[in-house]
Amino acid sequence: MKKVFLLVTLFIVFNSIAQKNNTVQTQLDKIVSDKMVMGVVAGYSIEGKTVEQGVAGYADKDANKKIETNTKIRMGSIAKTMTALAIMQLVEQGKIDLDVPIQTYIPDYPKQKKTQITTRHLLSHTSGISGYKDGKESNTTTEYATLNDALSLFKNRDLLFEPGSQYSYTTYGYTVLGAIMESVTENTFEAYMRENIFKKAGMTNTGVVKFEVELENQSKLYHRNNGKGKAKPTKENNLSNRLPAGGFYTTLTDMLKFGNAVINNVFVKEETLTLMRQHHSLEKENNAYGFGWFLYNPKPNEGAIIGHPGAQSGCTSFLFIVPEKKAVSVILSNTSRAQSSIDPIASSLLQSSLAKASN
């Protein structure tokens, strides 16, 4: 993630990507023709109006099915921003306190010897909970019937550090957040997200990925081995151990709707979003993180540009939002290990949206 932060910062400062006639479509066509990705969609909007978008490549190469703006694609870790917003809705309602031990909501979660994990720690990746143990755990086919079942995978492992003392990005911390949501709402995580995030934003083609369940207009999954070579089909992995952290599918159209809903305070109050955009990942860390957002602008206005990348089997993605400019830019690819191709275009989209918003 530090590489991504530095890359984006350089593009913002020096504007090294945006060039004359280098349209969204041109950039997408190139990475498909170079076989860096199998399929990709991207675009940006200003004040809720889509200014430019493009599609290139295939949703299913074998079936000769082209990718489209309504093709359902995994979003990866962009899901964390949505889960964080859901948590903050419950904070606004007084159902969750950011600073009490998480055992307040999930009593059977193991207690620590000294400092207890809080919701604030989980949101900001300062809980000390580790990430995937290995590649096999990340690419598992194991089905966890509930989020509480998924907690059993890691909850008894030693923490990496005392909660609140360091930053370490972890998917599993957001799995815990999902379990907290289920406890306080007495509803499933999926049902809560559907009613309070997707529906509120008008996202009719976004939902939870179900292992081995095919959807209409769904893309196949592709992969580049170690980020090298051509994009090839890859096996599906089971996301039931990480639904709140990276278990959603979406479309380009829906992601633009989501970004604009964030800007227009559809999900949480403006002061709540301001809190989420503050630097919560400790001052000694380079890659500033708020609550569910990476903060991409240089100090002292780190939260002026917020967003999140996503990377998992069959997915490389990026979302940028600039609230004060009412600008949203999104890129979604059905190919994993494609960051070297996707990240520069994501930065170019951001630059284009900022230039357009300033005109």
Q: Which domains does the chain have, with CATH numbers?
A: 2-358 (3.40.710.10)
Q: Which residues pair with 94 in a beta bridge?
A: none
pLDDT at 225: 84
- Token digits of residue 214: 């095919």
- Give the C-alpha separation, 215 to 335, whole Å: 18
Q: Are 207 and 198 in contact (CB under 8 A)?
A: yes
pLDDT at 283: 75
pLDDT at 300: 85
Q: Which residues pair with 330 in a beta bridge?
A: 43, 319
Mark the ranges of the chain whose per-residue pLDDT is less than 50.
Answer: 1-20
pLDDT at 298: 86
pTM: 0.94
pLDDT at 18: 43
pLDDT at 5: 43
3-state secondary structure of 40: strand
Q: Is the N-terminal amide bond of 300 cis, ω within 30° of 0?
A: yes
- Pairing between strand 335-336 and 49-60? unpaired
